Structure 1
Amino acid sequence: MIPNSLSAWLSHLEQLHPSDIELGLTRVKRVAEQLGLTEFDNAKVVLVGGTNGKGTTCAMLESILMQAGYRVGVYSSPHLIRYTERVRVDGQELLEQQHCDAFAIIEQGRGDIALTYFEFGTLAALQLLKQAQCDVILLEVGLGGRLDATNIVEPDVSVVTTIDIDHVEWLGNNREDVSYEKAGIFRTNKPAICGDYDTPQRLIAHADHIGAKLLLANQAFTMSLQAKSWDWQMGDKQLTGLPLISLPLQNAATALATIAQLDLNVSEAHIKQGVLEAKLAGRMQVIQTSPTVILDVAHNPHSAGYLVEQLKAKTNGPILAVVGMLKDKDIKATLAKFDGVVSQWYLADLSGPRAASAQLLAQYTPAETTQVFKNVELAYQQAIADSEAQAVVIVFGSFYTVAEIIDRQQKG
């Protein structure tokens, strides 16, 4: 029986494969080739991987290219509130029925091949983006790179934003091994951009081995921060007076390097306006003032470190932290980034098999400034109640944690 709603389809997808994750391209590529979803003849394709910064890099690319008049399609994951967030065309989510129709095509095309939730969703997204007849398609890698379902597509440019340790059981427990997995999205004779300021040797060696055109941050392209703006340079291309934004400038610089390799008609005015207007939910997202409430999906040491830098630069009052995390993350190292920065901790249980308990998180925060709660809502309510007008409440730790507060806000 064919599901008749998006929720029914998603329930169906969850039951198709015994594992949430099964890395490998054999099964998903076979279905994609049967359905003609591995190449996009009339569109430029950018594959964006990395530990952190994939979403913000895609958001800036999308904004700049739309300013230049291009029809841009984006596939990203995970979503915060609605599954339809995962596919955007010209900045807009598609209808639930369009997703259902794409799922039906994939269901018919897969035959008896078992696909994971992410693999099935990736194929459906490729189907939607092909139908949309985009000029540029931006594909965010789900996990790793080499064996991720998005890697079945042939990109014009491949991007690795940053490299840090995450998903240890799948990618390895050191940056060199992780970088090799990320570098799996590079292609022979194609631009391969790495925005990490300390690029591991295994990534460089792999790019050299396959003959990719490797372009490294701080070597092939650079950025410099000024008092009220920032500058970017790549060879003889130079942009000055770029606007300061809340999204990481490191990712903005990587996005500009990517634009430079796409051979598209993008002006300096398009870039400045696109950078200024780029936004992404759950990344340094301010949802209220007095007290200021900031949402950020930081969930590993690298992203937590960036969040701490931003908080130190932009806030003067006491910082209260509402935190919920997954147990497969490096909880100790992530929370350690906030030592001496957070004055009060409000730790929340999340739900689901991967959830860490608030009691587990509390092992890594000072007992005298820590409270534990059964859910994010209760933790958030108490943090707001305890906050003075000049305080900052930061909600972080997981997409799930941030999603609960965004959902709360949208429902009023």
Structure 2
Amino acid sequence: MSMTISAARSPELAELLGLQPTGVIRWGLGRTRTMLHAVGRPHMAFRSLHVGGTNGKGSVAAMLASVLGVAGRRVGLYTSPHLLDFRERIRIDGFPVDDALLSAAARRLRPEAEAVRGTFFETATALAFLCFAEAGVEFVVAEVGLGGRLDATNVLLPEIAAITNVAWDHADYLGNTLAAIAREKAGIVKPGVPLVLGRLDPEAGRVVRRHAEGVGAPLLQLGYDAAVRRIRIGREYTEFGYMGPDADRPIQLRCPLLGAHQAWNAGLAALALESLPNEYRPTADEIGLGVAGVRWPGRLQIERRRDRTWVLDVAHNLVAVEALAQSLTSLDLETPLALVVAILGDKPWPEMLPPLLALADISIFTVAPSSPSDRWWDAAAVAETVSTYPVEVIVDFEAALERAAEVAATVVVTGSNHTVGDAMKLLDIPVGLPGGRRAG
């Protein structure tokens, strides 16, 4: 990922992360633990909630942080990747981490990161936890980066673990069967730590439940122990009812993140929050306010720019694309509709494209300039494989956006975080905040 790590804003951060190779994955928790222990074990200074899964984990994490903030807690939120600015990954009370705090933490961590030769993600994770401890947060909501069992965030001993779903993604790292991927995701489950599950494929569900039983983790699952009902999707909100494990009647929730999948994400967040110990458990009103106040950019985000409607979504695998396509059919969008898509070449684009191409009056294949050049797809060659659809190839990203705006009333931009981040920058769309209590 192209890192917008400004040397002017934080030369210490730029130097620290500039040492670490991006895109390198080395399994194991040892390097992360060594860095954290060397700077005083900051990951032990706060309570945490750990969110894994294939899709939706960032949305669930943002919702959890938003609700905890509304409930009066000082909250850190750690997510990845970012869209425009590295500081999006590390938020405190809804705001990107302060430059001075980030620089001081980077300066303190640098010799430890150099000593263990931590990867980019391992170093970023240790840096985030150090920032949170220095800021005195009460709770941290941490999103798993990749997999779970050997992910750097798995050094945490959380109050709650959540797994949103298990689907095909990163099979080259996690395994070539759904069961193998599920085993890696289930690696965040720890003895005695309650686990909440979203809707899982039966095979994956069996693997995760078996693992939870094996380590003695109490388990609740959305769809069995709690329910989401009567989902209504509009241009501004997703509305639905949530029925918790001990509720007499459902509570009505309104979420600004659009799509039926976001109702299920919010339901999982509510179930996780209701599973916290009594002294930390938010009220139903606080859950409602927190879900209503969440902000999570690039997820079916609708904006008006250049006298056109723009829909931006970071869908980067088949499940996410199917959710996007289903949501687009539920919205009353102006036509004609153009699709601007740039998918990384190592993603399953032959399966991802048809659900989207079927909805578009014209599709434009391009390349996101911030994406690693060794992962670019061959847009022209891909276009030849879908010649039954109206497709144009415009490799220059800005020109692709301009062409879409010329021919369509609604432009859908999707394919990866790079694609959406680059579009937001060109269209001057701010990243925004994930909600929750304001600092100060």
TM superposition score normalised by structure 2: 0.86
Q: CA 1:315/1:186 → structure 2, altered by over 3 Å: closer, same or farther?
A: same
**Per-residue Cα deviation, 1:116-164 (whole angstroms, up to 9, x for no partner):** 1111111000000111111211011110100110001111111111211
Q: Deviations over 1:220-263 (max 9, x none)?
A: 22111156842222321353222254341110001001111123
**Partner Cα separation in structure 2 for residue 104 and residue 11 of structure 1:** 9
Q: 1:134 to 1:321 in 2, by over 3 A?
A: same
1:384 pairs with one of 396, 401, 405 = 405
Equivalent of 1:171 in 174, 177, 190: 174
Shift of the 80–243 alpha-carbon distance from structure 1 to 2, 3 Å rule, reads same
Which stretch shifts more, 88-97 or 3-12?
A: 3-12
What is the deviation of 1:33? 2.3
In structure 1, what is the equivalent of residue 222 of structure 2?
217
Q: How much has 1:11 moved relative to structure 2? A: 5.6
The residue aligned with 1:232 is: 242
- The RMSD of aligned alpha carbons is 2.2
Matches within 5 A, 1:31-180: 31-37=35-41, 39-41=43-45, 43-110=46-113, 112-180=115-183
Q: Which amino acid aligns with 1:236?
A: D
CA distance in 1, matches of 2:429, 2:54: 32
Q: Is the 8 A contact 1:350 1:356 kept in 2?
A: no
Structure 1 SS opposite 2:428? helix
Partner letter of residue 343 of structure 2? M
Given that 1:283 and 1:296 are in contact with CA atoms closer than 8 Å, whether structure 2 keeps it comes out as yes
**In structure 1, what is the equivalent of residue 412 of structure 2?**
394
Residue of 277, 284, 291 corresponding to 1:275: 291
Write the deviation string for residues 45-64 of structure 1: whole angstroms up to 9, x where unpaired: 00111111011111111221
Alpha-carbon distance change, 185 to 67 in structure 1, aligned in 2, over 3 angstroms? same
Instruction: Give the conservation status (yes or no) of the 8 Å contact 2:149–2:184.
Output: yes
CA contact (8 A) 1:73 1:88 kept: yes
* 1:194 equivalent in alignment to 2:197: yes
Please say if residues 345 and 365 of structure 1, whose CA atoms lie closer than 8 Å, have aligned partners that are also in contact. Answer: no
Q: How does 1:307-346 map to 2 (within 5 A)?
A: 307-316=324-333, 317-346=335-364
- Structure 1 unaligned segments of length 5 or more: list them: none
Contact 2:317 / 2:348 at 8 angstroms: preserved in 1? Answer: yes
3-state SS in 1 of match to 2:142? strand
Compared CA separation, residues 272 and 11, structure 1 to 2 (3 A): same
Aligned pairs (5 A) from 1:7-46:
9-10=13-14, 12-17=16-21, 20-37=24-41, 39-41=43-45, 43-46=46-49
Report the Cα distance in structure 2 between the residues aligned to 1:265 and 1:187, rounded to whole angstroms.
20
Residues in 2 aligned to 1:244 and 1:30: alpha-carbon distance in whole angstroms = 40
Residue 305 of structure 1: aligned partner: 322
Could you tell me which amino acid in structure 2 is paired with residue 241 of structure 1?
Q
Change in CA separation of 1:258 and 1:18 when aligned onto 2, cut-off 3 Å: closer
- The reply to whether residue 354 of structure 1 matches residue 375 of structure 2 is yes
1:262 to 249, 266, 276: 276
Show the counterpart of 2:301.
Answer: 285
The alpha-carbon deviation at position 18 of structure 1 amounts to 8.7
Residue-by-residue CA offset, 1:290-330 (whole Å, 9 max, x unaligned): 53211000010001011011100003533210011111211
Q: What amino acid is the match of 2:400? A: A
- Structure 2 vs 1, CA of residues 128 and 249 (structure 1 numbering), >3 Å: closer, same or farther? same
Q: 1:205 Cα deviation (Å)?
A: 1.4
Deviation at residue 284 of structure 1 after TM alignment? 0.9
What displacement does 1:4 show? 8.0
Kindly provide the CA deviation profile for residues 21-79 of structure 1, in whole angstroms up to 9, marking residues without a partner as x: 112112222222232336434x3200111111011111111221111111111011111
The count of residues paired between Structure 1 and Structure 2 equals 406
| Partner residue of 1:252 out of 254, 258, 266 | 266
- Is 1:206 the counterpart of 2:217 in the alignment? no
Counterpart Cα distance in 1 of 2:53 and 2:30 = 22
Q: Deviations over 1:336-395 (max 9, x none)?
A: 2224212211110234222223224324433551111123211111000111xxx32110
CA contact (8 A) 2:338 2:404 kept: yes
Q: Structure 1 residues 63, 16: closer, same or farther in 2, change over 3 A?
A: closer
Distance change >3 Å, CA 74–CA 364, structure 1 → 2: farther
Extract unaligned runs of 5+ from structure 2: 1-6, 234-238, 431-440
> What is the alpha-carbon distance in structure 1 between the residues aligned to residue 178 and residue 118 of structure 2?
29
Q: Report the CA distance shift for 1:19/1:269 in structure 2 as closer, same or farther (over 3 A).
A: closer
Contact 1:297-1:399 at 8 Å conserved across structures: yes
Change in CA separation of 1:136 and 1:113 when aligned onto 2, cut-off 3 Å: same
| Same amino acid, percent of matched pairs | 29
Aligned counterpart, 1:241: 252
Structure 2 counterpart of 1:246, one-letter code = L
Report which stretch shifted further, 145-154 or 58-67: 58-67
Measured in 2, the distance between the counterparts of 1:131 and 1:9 equals 16
The 10-residue stretch of structure 1 (236-245 or 199-208) with the greater mean CA deviation from structure 2: 236-245
State whether residues 347 and 358 of structure 1, in contact with CA within 8 Å, keep that contact through their aligned partners in structure 2: yes
**Aligned counterparts of 1:311 and 1:17: Cα–Cα separation in 2:** 37
Q: Which amino acid aligns with 1:57?
A: V
Amino acid at match of 1:314: L
